[in-house]
C-alpha cells in the first residue's frame, strides 16, 4: 500500500490492492496497530510517500486523520474506526472501477474531527503513479 503526500493541497492519497485494503480494514476493526507502506515508491505526481499507517483506538468522539512525520495516524473511538474500516472494505469491492472516496473533514462531521487532514482513498487499480503516470501524461499530449 502507498500513501502519497500532496504538500500543495495538504492532503494524502492512499493507493493499494483490494487485498491490502481488506487487511487494513481488519486492522482498523481490531482497534490498533501499524502497517508498513511502500516508503520508497515513486509517487509522481505527488511529493513524497509516507512510511506507515498507524491506528490507535482512543476515547475521542471522532476520528482524527493526521500526518506525524512520515506516518498517517488514524485515531478515534471504535464505533467510528469501524466506519473507516467499512469504507476500506467498500473500496476493495470496487477493484478496477477507478473511483475514489474523499475523507474530508468539516465542522460538525459525524465521524471525522474537523481538524483532520484530508485523505483520498483510491479504488484498487486507479490512478497511475510514478512511471505509469508519466507515460499516461505523455499520451494525453496532442501530437506536434
Q: Domain of residue 78: give its range.
A: 2-140
CA-CA distance, 44 to 40, in Å (whole number)? 12
State the CB neighbour count (10 A cutoff) for residue 7: 9
* Half-sphere CA count of 68, side-chain side, radius 13 A: 10
How many folded domains does the chain comprise? 1
Instruction: Say which CATH number the domain at 68 has.
Output: 3.30.1360
pLDDT for 31-72, tens place per residue?
Answer: 899 999 999 999 999 999 999 999 999 999 999 999 999 999
Instruction: Encode pLDDT of 66-109 as tens digits.
Output: 999 999 999 999 999 999 999 999 999 986 667 889 999 999 99
Q: What is the 3-state secondary structure (H, E, C) of 106-133?
A: CCCCCCECCCCCEEEEECCCCCCCHHHH
Is residue 142 predicted with pLDDT exceeding 80? Answer: no
Amino acid at each position: 500500500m502507498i500513501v502519497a503526500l500532496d504538500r500543495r493541497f495538504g492532503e494524502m492519497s492512499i493507493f493499494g490492492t483490494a487485498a491490502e485494503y481488506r487487511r487494513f480494514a481488519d486492522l482498523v476493526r481490531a482497534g490498533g496497530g501499524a502497517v508498513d507502506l511502500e516508503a520508497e515508491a515513486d509517487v509522481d505526481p505527488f511529493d513524497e510517500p509516507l512510511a506507515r499507517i498507524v491506528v490507535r483506538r482512543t476515547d475521542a468522539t471522532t476520528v482524527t486523520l493526521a500526518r506525524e512525520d512520515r506516518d498517517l495516524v488514524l485515531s478515534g473511538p471504535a464505533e467510528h474506526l469501524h466506519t473507516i474500516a467499512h469504507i476500506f472494505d467498500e473500496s476493495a469491492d470496487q477493484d478496477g472501477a477507478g473511483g475514489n472516496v474523499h475523507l474530508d473533514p468539516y465542522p460538525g462531521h459525524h465521524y471525522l474531527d474537523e481538524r483532520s487532514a484530508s485523505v483520498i482513498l483510491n479504488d484498487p487499480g486507479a490512478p497511475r503513479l510514478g512511471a505509469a503516470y508519466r507515460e499516461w501524461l505523455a499520451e494525453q499530449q496532442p501530437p506536434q
